[in-house]
Amino acid sequence: MKQKRPFFYWVIQIFFIFAIITCILGQSMAIFDYDFAVSTGLQESYEKVSDFGIIFNKAFGFADTLTYIPLMIITFFGLWFRKRWALVTLAGVSGISIYWTLTCIYFMNAASAVKGFTLVPGVPYYILMGIYFITGIWGLIYLIVRGERLLAQNSK
């Protein structure tokens, strides 16, 4: 008999569904059709971020498309099927989540000195970044303290 999944399992799986969809729409689409990504509200227009910001956004979109999104998909299914390797990929996803949010927050605040960059990040940016950052930190801490529970199959 399989053991009931821990609360964190459901939090992380819901996060993955949300993150995979938003990353595909905002990050992957930015590489191929930047205007579409802007229309979704997941990227900013040229008028706000200038050519420099668009290059920065596309660079993150490229990296996310080749690493972050596939790792999230692999981890989602690895956890679903209770695969041991999913703990390793979850650690990778958690680290990326922490790293890119801190990089983007710093960039958005420091880029105001760049000519043509007029974006002033508001509360929605910090909420979105906070979700990714907190999920990343929580993921790493959970892995260290109770990671094996995500794979547990036998009831006590």
Residue 84 covered by a domain: yes
Residue 92 covered by a domain: yes
The residue-averaged pLDDT of 107-123 equals 89
What are the CA-CA distances from residue 53 to residues 11, 102, 122 (Å)? Answer: 32, 16, 17
Residue 53 covered by a domain: yes
Residue 13 covered by a domain: no
Residue 139 covered by a domain: yes
Three state DSSP letters for 76-88: HHHHHCCCCHHHH
Give the range of the structural domain holding residue 57, as residue numbers without chain letter. 49-147
C-alpha torsion angle, residues 21, 23, 27, 30 (rounded to 10): 10
The residue-averaged pLDDT of 20-33 equals 96
Task: Please give the Cα distance from 99 to 113 (Å, whole number).
Answer: 22
pLDDT digits (tens, 9 = 90+) for 44-57: 999 999 998 999 99
pLDDT for the residue numbered 32:
95
Phi, psi of 21 (to 5 degrees): -65, -50
Residue 6 covered by a domain: no
6-31 b/e (C-beta count within 10 Å ≥ 16 → b)? eebbeebeebbeebbeebebbbbbbb
Residue 126 covered by a domain: yes
Number of separate domains in the chain: 1
CB distance 56 to 27 below 8 Å: no
The whole-model pTM stands at: 0.90
Report whether pLDDT(156) > 70. no
Percent of the chain at pLDDT > 70 equals 96
The residue-averaged pLDDT of 24-36 equals 96
pLDDT digits (tens, 9 = 90+) for 85-105: 999 999 999 999 999 999 999
pLDDT for the residue numbered 155:
40
